[in-house]
């Protein structure tokens, strides 16, 4: 079978998204809308379709970003490409189309981080044979996307899902409901309060967060299109927790979570997760992804609490196959790696300073 590759225009949006939603490896970060969002944060999106007789067999959203000083771009394909990566013919057609674009745009590399488990060592061998280099992204959150996640098969009925959870998790879900916590879908006007609670969370747990305008863009682009939902937890008339979830096809992802410093004793974080799982089931999903945890499971790790919380829902601890770089311009790639390490070092130093006790 001979395939043809085509870079798409806006009139192809519906057809492209339909393929992403239906494909087993379709992902929210491969949607047309995700490219639009990233296009407003300094990236240039490209959408690729590999077709036969007008039918799409593979697709990819490629994000291009120029590097400062060097003035040349890198390519990134988040959680893609959307293709049976074991199918050599389809995969070759995808990579060749991207290579031609990279040559035209003078790109240094293509980075991918497929939504594939690390247990798939056959694919690891295929990627190496195709010329990809595997990157070491550590065990915490050093990579572009989380390498370690919890994923829950939500195809069983709700009673079975609850029964399979850790006893303490099940207890906290019911406790939160009995205490009067109410979970509802967030409206556009709830976004500012969600962000306020999110800022409380970032200050308490010492991590960085994007600007409010970014969350406005996420909501305005994805929620009306049916690819995301905002949830808020109310207690005594106040929003005490909130979450943002993505949904694409039969998969849902817990992306952002916020919880107030107040009223943590009523356990809103447990109930809001349960309500998101029920929402995902009601929308035909069979997989619920809790997203990132640390791969360092030592109880002394400051991130262990996050692991313990997500583990309580009885999801499967999953390590992805990781980040892989395909290099187009080797000399500039070496320079980029040196610069990336320097930037990473500065960022880690800034985070360390954030974690120091503040003067009272």
Indicate the fold that domain 4-112+329-355 takes in CATH. Aminopeptidase (3.40.630)
Architecture of domain 155-285 in this structure? 3-Layer(aba) Sandwich (3.40)
- Tell me the average pLDDT across 283-298: 93
Same fold, 4-112+329-355 and 155-285: yes
Residue 78 has φ and ψ, to the nearest 5°, of -65, 125
For the segment 308-332, what is each residue's pLDDT rounded down to a tens digit? Answer: 999 999 999 999 999 999 999 999 9
Q: Please give the Cα distance from 113 to 47 (Å, whole number).
A: 17
Q: What is the pLDDT of residue 344?
A: 59
Name which of 280, 237, 232, 279 is nearest 259 in CA terms: 232
**Where are the chain's structural domains?**
4-112+329-355, 155-285
- In sequence order, the 6+-apart residues with CB closer than 8 A to the CB of 233 are 176, 181, 182, 183, 239, 240, 241, 242, 268, 269, 271, 272
Q: CA 278 from chain center: how many Å?
A: 20
Angle between helices 191-205 and 212-222 (to 10 degrees): 130
CB atoms within 10 A of CB 212: 15
Whole-prediction pTM: 0.92
Q: Identify the DSSP state of 108.
A: -
Indicate the range of 25-34, 130-139, 224-233, 340-349 predicted with least confidence.
Answer: 340-349
For the segment 75-133, what is each residue's pLDDT rounded down to a tens digit? Answer: 999 999 999 999 999 999 999 999 999 999 999 999 999 999 999 999 999 999 999 99
Q: Please give the Cα distance from 250 to 287 (Å, whole number).
A: 7
For the segment 9-49, what is each residue's pLDDT rounded down to a tens digit? Answer: 999 999 999 999 999 999 999 999 999 999 999 999 999 99
Q: What percent of the chain has pLDDT over 70?
A: 94
Q: What is the pLDDT of residue 143?
A: 78
């Amino acid at each position: 079978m001979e395939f043809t590759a085509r870079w798409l225009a806006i009139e192809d949006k519906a057809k492209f998204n339909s393929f992403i939603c239906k494909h087993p490896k379709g992902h929210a970060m491969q949607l047309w809308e995700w490219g639009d969002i990233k296009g407003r944060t300094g990236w240039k999106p490209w959408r690729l379709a590999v077709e036969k007789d007008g039918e799409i067999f593979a697709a990819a959203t490629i994000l291009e970003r120029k590097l400062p000083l060097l003035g040349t771009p890198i390519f990134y394909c988040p959680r893609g490409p959307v293709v049976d990566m074991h199918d050599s013919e389809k995969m070759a057609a995808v990579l060749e189309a991207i290579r031609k674009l990279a040559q035209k745009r003078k790109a240094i590399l293509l980075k991918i981080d497929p939504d594939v488990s690390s247990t798939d060592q056959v694919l690891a061998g295929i990627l190496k044979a195709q010329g990809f280099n595997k990157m070491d992204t550590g065990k915490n959150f050093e990579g572009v996307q989380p390498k370690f996640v919890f994923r829950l098969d939500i195809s069983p009925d709700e009673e079975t899902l609850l029964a399979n959870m850790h006893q303490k998790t099940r207890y906290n879900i019911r406790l939160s409901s009995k205490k009067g916590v109410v979970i509802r879908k967030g409206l556009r006007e709830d976004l500012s309060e969600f962000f306020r609670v999110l800022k409380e969370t970032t200050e308490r747990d010492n991590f960085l967060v994007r600007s409010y305008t970014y969350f406005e863009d996420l909501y305005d682009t994805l929620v009306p299109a049916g690819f995301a939902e905002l949830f808020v937890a109310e207690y005594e008339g106040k929003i005490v927790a909130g979450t943002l979830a993505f949904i694409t096809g039969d998969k849902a992802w817990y992306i952002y979570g916020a919880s107030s410093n107040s009223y943590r004793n009523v356990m809103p974080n447990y109930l809001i997760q349960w309500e998101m799982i029920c929402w995902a089931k009601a929308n035909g999903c069979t997989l619920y992804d809790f997203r990132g945890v640390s791969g360092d499971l030592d109880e002394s790790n400051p991130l262990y609490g996050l692991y313990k919380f997500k583990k309580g829902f009885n999801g499967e601890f999953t390590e992805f196959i990781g980040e892989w770089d395909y290099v187009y311009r080797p000399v500039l790639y070496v320079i980029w790696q040196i610069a990336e390490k320097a930037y990473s070092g500065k960022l880690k130093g800034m985070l360390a300073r954030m974690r120091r006790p503040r003067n009272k």
